[in-house]
Structure 1
């Protein structure tokens, strides 16, 4: 099935991630710590930890950092006790936003998230106010020029739910959130290395932003993403490059 072009946004996300490597490592350490605490240190028996360790490898994080984070999570090392919190809200023109946080101070985190929303033209909503507009799933993105028929056959055989083609020829493989690592491995063995692979909250519909509204929306998203306690920001807004 065809879909809206999102290739520019994917490249932008990759570039932004690379530019903030130190912050990315900090977020991954939190994720690994919490994943190990909740599901144990065995990567083979803990899909969430396995995914976090794979992301750490993609971000070129030293293995020692990963090992220490796992030990911290399982009680082998002292460290902060993080809890997961999700906030929901609205951006410019009512665009839906989900903000996933890990924090050792809930009061600080909610104040910072609320301030970012209000300062940049958005507002926080109640729990469940926008989450129903998103699907929790795994996503793998492949660059334009990838052999669509061969990838689709390999993806569906590997257990993927759908393969979507965007307007520029980029391909998006959708799968269950716990199936991402397994499907990624199978597709890489078949010769398909993704540009980006992640567990995400995928919006059911998208709102395209251009001009001044696009700039305002991007400022709000950047303000949220730059908060220390924020792990991920999901939105149904698509920022079009002029």
Structure 2
């Protein structure tokens, strides 16, 4: 299976997140809390919580802070209750965008999201207007130069759905069903193949190529959305070409 490499986009997003580490901590703790509230505080039986905790540890968050967030969510400590919201719309160039939020004030959140779309030439759509273009899956990403044969063999053995090698730069994605993400990730790690990035995410079946000023507007919109306090994740089908990060 061939495709367009997401590697540059992943690195850009992570660089932006690192520059806003304090805000990232807040978002990670919200996800830990919601995962614990909806699926229970035992990470061994709650895969969403386990993934959220892994991300928090990867961001160098302390165990005490994480445990306190879990206790607040499960009622052992007093805390704020957040609601999950999803918004859908279009960025310039016909790029589809999904925005997942955790909020304690829906009026504020929808106003912030709508403002972002309008500010950068996009428009907020209705529920279901773009979600049908995306599918939920686990992705384990390996940087350019990784051992394709070893990764492919281990991924097949672990029960992954697909291995995508991007000819543009040699980066590799191992794709799994959402419920197989943790077992496949553990099996890959046991084989000595730790991914450079891993997550359960939404990916579009078909990307939309944008370049030049249009691509720059798309990047500005996505960055602005990701910087909003109530936004947890932003997904798009943008294939960003020349000049996107100018």
Question: How many angstroms does 1:81 deviate by?
Answer: 0.7
Question: Which consecutive segments of 4 or more residues in structure 1 shift more than 4 A?
Answer: none
* Residue 230 (structure 2) aligns with: 229
Question: How many angstroms does 1:21 deviate by?
Answer: 1.6
Question: How many angstroms does 1:13 deviate by?
Answer: 2.1
Q: Normalized against structure 2, the TM-score is what?
A: 0.95
* Residue 212 (structure 2) aligns with: 211
* Residue 36 (structure 2) aligns with: 36
The answer to whether the Cα contact below 8 Å between 1:48 and 1:178 also exists between their aligned partners in 2 is no
Question: How many angstroms does 1:241 deviate by?
Answer: 5.0
Distance 2:183 2:241 in 1: 33
* Residue 13 (structure 2) aligns with: 13
Question: How many angstroms does 1:79 deviate by?
Answer: 1.1
Q: Which consecutive unaligned segments of at least 5 residues does structure 2 have?
A: none
Distance 1:218 1:70 in 2: 34
Alignment pair present for 1:84 and 2:88? no
* Residue 184 (structure 1) aligns with: 185
Question: How many angstroms does 1:89 deviate by?
Answer: 0.3
Question: How many angstroms does 1:68 deviate by?
Answer: 0.5
Q: Normalized against structure 1, the TM-score is what?
A: 0.97
| Residues paired across the two proteins, number | 242
Question: How many angstroms does 1:134 deviate by?
Answer: 0.5
**For the aligned residues, what is the CA RMSD?**
1.1
* Residue 26 (structure 2) aligns with: 26
The answer to whether the Cα contact below 8 Å between 2:35 and 2:48 also exists between their aligned partners in 1 is yes
Alignment pair present for 1:201 and 2:202? yes
Q: Secondary structure, in 3 states, of the residue corresponding to 1:232? A: strand
Question: How many angstroms does 1:144 deviate by?
Answer: 1.5
